[in-house]
A and B are shown apart, each in its own frame.
Chain A
Amino acid sequence: MAKTYTLITSATVGSGGAAFMQFTSIPQLYTDLVVLMSARSTTGSPDSGMEINGEGSSNISSRYMFSVDGSTITGSGGFIALVGLPKSGTTSNTFGNVTIYITNYTSSQQKAISVESITENMSSSETFLTLTSGVYSSSNTVSSLKLTGDFAQYSKTYLYGIKNS
């Protein structure tokens, strides 16, 4: 049976926190990539994003739909927004979760990106649901990913390779 869903590597944030988590030299052995992330912020900002090959805005565009504390927000931009992370002062031990799917990452064509992410603060505030569609329009293959957000201890991310054969 083909091994179509394979863990490539993972990263766990230690007690000092981390300004970002990144994967470099991503092997070009698979068809698609999946990133799973469980994270919390050390700061008063819930913002989190993703850079591809060191590019955070150029060659990247997205359209998103957020549900924030019961209100729905839609928009677009030159970035990939991941989730509103639980920030400092929110319910202890709550973490946001993100799934990122990147198709045909070894292709020279445009790479489609989908993001599904959530944060539940166990209250009526600081709760986020996010659906994002994006594209990386560079002809370069995806060789590195950087997740930004000032991550707290116990934040984790996992990189998986998906093979179509």
Chain B
Amino acid sequence: MPILGTVASQFSGKPFGSFESIATSTAGPSGLSDINFNTIPTTYTHLQLRMNLFNSSGTNAFVTFNGDTATNYWQHGIESYGGGSTSVYGGGNQYAGFVGNIVLSDTYPGVSVLDIFDYQNTSIRKVIRGSYGTNMNLSAPGYSRNFYSDATWGNTSAITSINIQCQTGVFAQHSTVSLYGIKG
């Protein structure tokens, strides 16, 4: 089998940054039931979502691609919650990010970073690595938790749009989701 090597110094000093902001959506006083990024530029190799979300009722947020809300996503993850309990989970889902029982709050945000690799590569199913955390301080310590998760969207299509949906109610004021592009 051949080896694949590259002399990195040949490529140093490119005159551009490789991590760029594409768009940010922020909820106003009425909140947002979902957040969409449509017509995602094709000028990047990877995408990253950074989310800072509030919700008064404590609910879930679901991430889907290209309008696909069928059970075409698989996830596994590990979580730590409350007083230090841990659990693992996994299975087929209708969404790629934010696996169940995410407790949000109007006071304490749920924060998540999702990395979406090779989002335009039509030879691979799209893989998403996610981390999530919320800490409700002493108001509800049992609901404080963090997740580390994977997901695969069982589709080889390029990702052209992303939807982040609030399961119940709305993402409250000051919720923000930012989409970044990473060049490759």
Contact = CB atoms under 8 A, between A and B. Distances in A.
A10 B117 contact: no
Nearest to A99: B115
Interface residues of A, number: 61
A99 B129 contact: yes
A59 interface: no
A5 B19 contact: yes
Contacts of A26: 8-9
B42 interface: no
Interface stretch (B31-39, B135-143, B145-153): B145-153
Interface in A73-116: 91, 93-97, 99, 116
B174 interface: no
Contact of B129 (A25, A72, A118, A156): A118
A25 B9 contact: yes
A31 to B, nearest CB: 14
In which size bucket is the chain B interface?
35 or more
Contacts, number: 167
A122 B154 contact: yes
A120 B152 contact: yes
A123 interface: yes
B86 interface: yes
A54 to B, nearest CB: 12
Contact of A18 (B2, B19, B148): B2
Nearest to B151: A120
Interface in B32-78: 45-46, 74-78
A74 to B, nearest CB: 11
Interface in B126-184: 127, 129, 131, 148-152, 154, 156, 182-184
8 contacts: A4-B19, A21-B4, A22-B3, A26-B9, A27-B12, A118-B150, A122-B74, A129-B78
Going nearest first, the 4 A-B pairs with the smallest beta carbon separation are A118-B150, A5-B19, A27-B12, A25-B9
